[in-house]
Amino acid sequence: MPRWKALPEELDPQVREFASQLRRLVDRSRLSISAVADRTGYSKTSWERYLNGRLLAPKGAIVALAEVTGTNTGHLTTMWELAERAWSRSEMRHDMTMEASRISQARAALGEFGPAQAVAPAGRPGGLPAAPADPSGRDPSGRDPSGWDRCGGEQPQRPSPYMPTQSGPGLPAPPTAPLGADPSPDHQEGGKRKVIMFLAGLVGALLVIAAAVLLTDLGGDGTDGKPAAKPPPAAPTTSSPQLPAGVKCSGKACTGQDPEAMGCGGEFAKTVSSATVGKTFVEVRYSKTCQAAWARITQAAPGDALQISVAGKSAQNELVNADNDAYTPMTAVAAPAEAKACATLKTGVTGCTGQQ
């Protein structure tokens, strides 16, 4: 079964060449994707996307891979810059294609409504036609729209119910309402009712406050002058430590869990002890954030066995597969020195970390 999947056909040639170069570096180092993820600080899922051409690796991941594989950083970043430009051009073409597709769909949807319906002529309510204009230019009321009558004089204005009219000789002027006031009797009655309701509510509130003060003075607080006892202090609450983003367990909750899946590897882990067993390299990986440890073996052969234990207990085991390396599930540990990793090779050679 081939190790790598075929790269997508629509991939830009520059990006395809860069992804192929990354695959050759990983193959030359004889590291699995899990080991690359653990040593570079980027997750296994991310490296699978980078190496399969589904996502362009960031520059930080490329620099980390160059350091792990012993590759010239300058040459690899130069190839990355070319691939990054090609990737940007591909995304731009994709965005333009999607935009053109959305415009076509919008035009097709608008075309389904047909031509716009005729709008009713403005003028009279209900869409009724406006009254025909007088050829003489006068409005239907018989007045000249210019404000002057045919004899040259100004047309008289109709009295407004809101403007005072001049009184005739010997007649008193009608009373005028204050500016902004509603002269209607209903409005005046409504204002009086609002004032009366406000005053009634205010008096009721004052009565309630007075009754409460009176009852407090008569009954007292029931302590006979003694100071009130202080309430007992609240018991301190214990909560789980705040974990960084991506980390999903800590302590005993990590026992038996995959360190990569739970986010304990990468930047949150370090090698605390190691040993060479035959041709293999065995390590104890410890995460202070997760308070757990696990064993890792590299340059091994399929069938080699690996184990992590804490004081001879809480052992976790793993077998090496075709990737030539493996790591065990995690086990909770209070101090990294308590953990020990052991390897049993198919050749019969055994060894553990911490042995002289």
For the chain, the first-to-last Cα distance in angstroms comes to: 40
pLDDT at position 197 over 70: yes
104-113, 160-169, 193-202, 205-214: range with lowest mean pLDDT: 160-169
Q: What is the pLDDT of residue 112?
A: 61
21-25, 234-238, 318-322: range with lowest mean pLDDT: 234-238
Environment class of residue 287 by beta-carbon count within 10 Å: exposed (0-12), middle (13-18) or buried (19+)? buried
Average pLDDT (64-74) is: 91
Q: 137: which residues sit within 8 A by CB, 6+ positions away?
A: 144, 145
Q: How far apart are CA 187 and CA 181, in angstroms?
A: 9
Distances (CA, A) of 281 to 103, 273, 354: 59, 11, 13
248-265: pLDDT as tens digits: 999 989 999 998 888 888
336-351: pLDDT as tens digits: 888 999 999 888 889 9
Chain mean position to CA 316: 37
Q: What is the pLDDT of residue 169?
A: 46
Q: Which of 15-24, 89-98, 210-219, 308-317 has the highest mean pLDDT?
A: 15-24
Q: Which domains does the chain have, with CATH numbers?
A: 13-105 (1.10.260.40), 251-352 (no CATH)
Q: What is the pLDDT of residue 218?
A: 53
Chain mean position to CA 166: 72
Radius of gyration of the chain (CA): 44
Q: How far apart are CA 67 and CA 61, in angstroms?
A: 10
108-117, 223-232, 237-246, 293-302: range with lowest mean pLDDT: 223-232
Tally Cβ neighbours within 10 Å of residue 171: 8
Q: What is the pLDDT of residue 321?
A: 81
**Higher model confidence: residue 304 or residue 156?**
304
DSSP classification of residue 148 = B
Secondary-structure breakdown of the chain: helix, strand, coil percentages, each rounded to the nearest 5: 35, 15, 50
User: What are the residue ranges of helices labelled H in the chain?
Assistant: 13-29, 33-40, 44-51, 59-69, 73-111, 185-219
pLDDT at position 103 over 50: yes
Query: Which pTM does this prediction carry?
Result: 0.40
Q: How many CA atoms lie within 13 Å of 152's alpha carbon, on the beta-carbon side?
A: 0
% of the chain at pLDDT higher than 70: 66
Q: pLDDT category, 36, cuts 50, 70, 90?
A: very high
**Nearest Cα to 324, choosing from 349, 298, 346?**
298
Tally Cβ neighbours within 10 Å of residue 59: 13
Average pLDDT (127-140) is: 48
Q: In the chain, what's the furthest Cα-to-Cα distance?
A: 135
Q: What is the pLDDT of residue 47?
A: 92
Environment class of residue 323 by beta-carbon count within 10 Å: exposed (0-12), middle (13-18) or buried (19+)? middle
136-175: pLDDT as tens digits: 445 445 454 444 444 444 444 554 444 444 444 444 444 4
Q: How far apart are CA 249 and CA 257, in angstroms?
A: 9
Q: How far apart are CA 190 and CA 274, in angstroms?
A: 92
Q: What is the pLDDT of residue 23?
A: 92
100-104, 186-190, 326-330, 344-348: range with lowest mean pLDDT: 186-190
Distances (CA, A) of 70 to 26, 57, 63, 156, 246: 11, 18, 10, 103, 29
Token code pair at residue 184? 């209607």
Q: How far apart are CA 47 and CA 211, in angstroms?
A: 76
Distances (CA, A) of 241 to 81, 181, 248, 289, 293: 41, 68, 11, 9, 18
Q: What is the pLDDT of residue 300?
A: 85
